[in-house]
Structure 1
């Protein structure tokens, strides 16, 4: 199958490309002029110009393809609402329209559990969408746009990965969390009770899910949460990091309000000097004091998805990669 992967040069993209190649697909990477394409060249992947802001380039990219996996997105800690709308919502809708127009057999879209926002208990795909960040809102809106086009014949599948981590991730929430711990910047306090739950997923598991969604007949029009099979409390995550790094986990608890007061001037300073640092943002306090726990039963039953990484195994592999590549010293 000829498959276009948008965002192929990114963190998740390189793993999805590799997985599709293992499955025998004819893979084409949708890339911008500024993309780092060294990995794609090494793999012999066909390169196709792709730009979320250029409809003509998108139209040319999908022509002759059998399927499209749409990973490219706008994501930053302090993004602008209009860019989320333009790049994550409008561009996705246009790409889906082009897929429909060109007879693409399937579009697999990378959404996020952030489209759901904080949850009560263990949430599945039927839970109401309550995103709290612009990124999550844009993903929820893009999902709605795809559902509208499904009524016109669009064959699509939506995957909602939770927090993705793994080697080669150098600018994401999990990257900041792991490296901050490794640098002893996040080892002094636990914000709140530490009992709130979070759920991660290794990038290789996500890549396999995209391959499964591409070929599953049962997946047409369906949405799937892609994650590890269980969630962890923040205390448990810190304990695992402590075991892996040899750095004792934090024992002192910091009330959320006090944490916000302490973080506010750091966030302001980082904003002035242009430094991106997820760990020192007031919104992070809110994030770590609510629950993000999910069920992957639907993906297991309908896709045959089964994660191969638990958090201990995956974090150890990721931490060692960061050390080997000088990101933690």
Structure 2
């Protein structure tokens, strides 16, 4: 049972690699020459150097039965529009073409709840919901939606592709870190005197890894499965972090117009003058509305675990502290 994986050095990918090895799979991981390999250190993984858009990528996949396409470029900066399209849309198209040419039997494509969009303010939505492309906030969300269309096109031509849509994973090995990890870090560093009145769906990253493997084993080609667990307001998440760490959670909200104005000035006035922007405008736009999801389909059809979110938060806190992220 040989698996080819893209994105194995990242947060979700690193946990998936560990799970696959534990479950007896042989793993071949595609990494860029510039990739940080720390998350794969000491693991029995065959490393191959390459790029998602390599026309000869199929040759690297030969001999593998299954593919997990986890890799994606994440950015909320408006200047990264072309890079997002190149990696997430065209890269997914090329990976799926390569998989077909290499004789891959089944692929699990890692999308995101970002591709699904959101319902009316605060409404919980499931896989049947789809915000129109023009209503998706930011180029990252749009690129993930278009990449899903590439996966569906592959299904239409006969490939077995199952789509998984993780929400906001939490846990160890968050090396970059992710936006959720950044919230935790800002809390630990006492850099969050205020908070926005918003919310997200959260899940233990190890459950996300299991969701991928279960999708390979039980998922229906052409279907998508939300890999999520609890819907929490940002205030509720910060209160859980306060309970874990003993630190005081921020008590006051900030009106959305304030970070929105700062981000607009950052990206549209200061960035063209050569200053590195600090707050992405699209990130503030996203945060103006809670992003809540219903993962019952994945629980029911795949058997997606629903582990303790508080335990995942403690894992994340302990890992960030141990790795020196918190000064």
- Is this a same-fold pair by TM over 0.5? yes
Q: CA deviation at 1:148?
A: 1.5
Segments of structure 1 that go 5 or more residues without pairing to the other structure are none
1:73 aligns with 2:75: no
What is the aligned partner in structure 2 of residue 174 from structure 1?
A: 180
C-alpha spacing 1:281/1:92, structure 2 compared with 1 (3 Å): closer
SS in 1 for 2:293: coil
Structure 1 residue aligned with 2:283: 284
In 2, Cα distance between equivalents of 1:74 and 1:160? 15
Deviation at 1:62, TM superposition (A): 1.5
TM-score, normalising length: structure 1: 0.89
Is it true that 1:141 corresponds to 2:149 in the alignment?
no
Mapped contact 2:53–2:95 kept (Cα < 8 A): no
For 2:243, what is the secondary structure of its paired residue? helix
Instruction: Name which of structure 1's ranges 171-180 and 150-159 shifts more when overlaid on structure 2.
Output: 171-180
| TM-score, normalization by structure 2 | 0.90
In 1, are the aligned partners of 2:14 and 2:39 still within 8 Å (CA)? yes
Counterpart-to-counterpart distance in 2, 1:105 and 1:134: 31
**Which blocks of at least 5 consecutive residues in structure 2 are unaligned?**
none
Correspondence list, 1:108-147, <5 A: 108-120=108-120, 121-129=123-131, 130-147=135-152
- The reply on whether 1:201 has 2:207 as its aligned counterpart is no
d(CA) in 1 for partners of 2:35, 2:255: 42
Q: CA RMSD in A?
A: 2.1
Structure 1 Cα separation of the partners of residues 21 and 292 of structure 2: 32
Give the C-alpha shift of residue 106 in structure 1: 0.5
Q: Deviations over 1:248-289 (max 9, x none)?
A: 2222232222343355556666884436x5xx3443333222
Q: Which moved more, 1:264-273 or 1:5-14?
A: 264-273
Describe how 1:152-301 pairs up with structure 2 within 5 A: 152-169=157-174, 170-186=176-192, 188-191=193-196, 194=197, 196-216=198-218, 218-228=219-229, 230-262=230-262, 272-274=274-276, 277=278, 280-301=279-300
Superposition pairs for residues 45-64 of structure 1, below 5 Å? 45-56=45-56, 58-64=57-63
Distance verdict in 2 for CA 1:148–1:262, change over 3 Å: closer
Distance 1:108 1:90 in 2: 17
- CA deviations on 1:204-236 (whole Å, 9 max, x unpaired) are 1111111111112x42221000012x2011221
Shift of 1:50: 2.7
| SS of alignment partner, residue 19 of structure 1 | helix
Deviation at 1:98, TM superposition (A): 2.0
Name the CA distance, whole Å, in 2 between partners of 1:243 and 1:36: 33
Q: Which moved more, 1:318-327 or 1:41-50?
A: 41-50
Residues in 2 aligned to 1:246 and 1:269: alpha-carbon distance in whole angstroms: 38
Note the C-alpha offset of 1:118.
2.9
CA-CA distance at 1:132 after TM superposition: 0.9
Give a deviation string over 1:57-110, Cα, whole Å, max 9, x none: x12121121011001111123252221111111121121122222321111101
Cα distance change, pair 283–94 in 1 and its aligned pair in 2 (3 A) = closer
